[in-house]
């Protein structure tokens, strides 16, 4: 993880190094001068945020403060100083899953263990009516013990709350965007589950299942394309894992696993089965997806094209 050294104060905190930046905010490593502990501070860059974006930033702090779960990075403090809005979180020194992916694919057992930890955190958020809406490797941090923890609910919202984005804008990162969101439907827990499945695939394969040079190309694949098989070097568990991803990346939300935990459990069972199982491993939580029909695929093509044109602008979450 690349850092940039800085030295300045923000209220009771002394900023020491910049850990990352993107969208409307920057993240710094800092010291709490009152309690004497190292923290991470997310700060809205001056002039970088509109009134609506600042409202979203404050909402993120409130949402995070209300989610008490070991797999979710908590908020310790929130405030404003000289016009800058910020919130304070624990500093986790293990980097992000994106940092780990920069080194290549992750050991399957480790990858599945991380996904299980984030699955539990997401299910807990969904249980209290909170969607993340931007699950991806860069928003999953590793603590000093190597445990995965979910961060950056900057695009999250309470279920049923009013969207803060302008009409026609899609919120989320195209590589991890669920098909229903690409088609203009509201986000739902299944959308987070889809993004987690994309993340799981990327950890195992070293690349996401759908990718391309343009956002529209990636979105079209999310709506139309069948997930590719995992690389052959995955080994004997590959067939069973492919079957799990066929379901986890289903185009219709109702065809996916009923919870993040159910998907994580299916991945673990597939990995553990290895060559001893000839049949693909599927969770018993719900029926497998129905076969796709050509007519439905053609109709979806027209809808997604209209959705992409109507969206006009795609808000890319880079943090």
Domain boundaries, given as residue ranges, for the chain = 10-91, 92-163+171-274
pLDDT, residue 36, reads 95
And the tokens for 87? 């919130």
Residue 234: what pLDDT? 93
Query: So what's the pLDDT on residue 310?
Result: 42
Residue 26's closest CA among 223, 245, 214, 10? 10
Q: What is the mean pLDDT of each run of 10 residues along the chain (319 residues)?
A: 69 91 82 96 75 72 78 87 84 93 94 98 91 92 94 61 41 85 94 98 97 92 96 94 98 98 98 60 35 39 42 40
Q: How many Å apart are CA 21 and CA 27, to the nearest integer?
A: 6
Global confidence as pTM: 0.78
Active-site choice (32, 120, 123, 134): 134
Domain 92-163+171-274: homologous superfamily in CATH: Transferase(Phosphotransferase) domain 1 (1.10.510.10)
Task: Give yes or no: 134 in active site.
Answer: yes
How much is the pLDDT for 217? 94
CA atoms within 13 A of residue 218's CA, in its CB half-sphere: 18
* Per-residue DSSP letter, 253: G
Round to whole Å and give the CA distance between 185 and 173.
16
Q: Measured between alpha carbons, how far is 32 from 315 in angstroms, rounded to an integer? A: 33
CATH topology of domain 10-91: Phosphorylase Kinase; domain 1 (3.30.200)
The Cα-based distances of 215 to 23, 156, 172, 221, 314 in angstroms read: 17, 21, 11, 10, 8
């Amino acid at each position: 993880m690349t850092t940039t050294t800085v030295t300045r104060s923000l209220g009771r905190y002394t900023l020491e190094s910049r850990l990352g930046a993107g969208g409307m905010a920057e993240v710094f490593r800092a010291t709490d001068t009152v309690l004497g502990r190292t923290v991470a501070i997310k700060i809205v860059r001056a002039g970088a945020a509109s009134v609506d974006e600042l409202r979203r930033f404050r909402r993120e702090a409130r949402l995070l403060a209300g989610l008490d779960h070991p797999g979710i990075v908590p908020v310790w403090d929130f405030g404003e100083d000289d016009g800058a809005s910020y919130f304070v979180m624990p500093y986790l020194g293990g980097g992000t899953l994106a940092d780990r992916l920069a080194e290549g694919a992750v050991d399957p057992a480790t990858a599945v263990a991380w996904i299980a930890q984030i699955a539990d955190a997401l299910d807990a958020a969904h249980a209290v009516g909170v969607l993340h809406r931007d699950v991806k490797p860069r928003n999953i941090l590793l603590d000093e013990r190597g445990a995965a923890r979910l961060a950056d609910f900057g695009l999250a919202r309470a279920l049923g709350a009013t969207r803060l984005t302008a009409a026609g804008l899609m919120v989320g990162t195209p590589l991890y965007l669920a098909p229903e969101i690409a088609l203009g439907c509201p986000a739902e827990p299944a959308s987070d589950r889809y993004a987690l499945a994309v993340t799981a695939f990327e950890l195992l394969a070293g690349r996401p299942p759908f990718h391309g040079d343009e956002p529209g190309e990636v979105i079209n694949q999310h709506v139309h394309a069948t997930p590719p098989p995992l690389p052959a070097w995955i080994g004997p568990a590959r067939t069973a894992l492919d079957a799990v991803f066929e379901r986890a990346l289903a185009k219709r939300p109702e065809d996916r696993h009923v919870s993040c935990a159910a998907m994580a459990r299916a991945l673990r069972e597939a990995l553990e089965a290895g060559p001893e199982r000839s049949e693909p491993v599927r969770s018993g939580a719900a029926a497998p997806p129905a076969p796709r029909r050509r007519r439905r695929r053609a109709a979806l093509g027209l809808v997604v094209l209209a959705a992409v044109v109507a969206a006009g602008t795609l808000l890319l979450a880079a943090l």
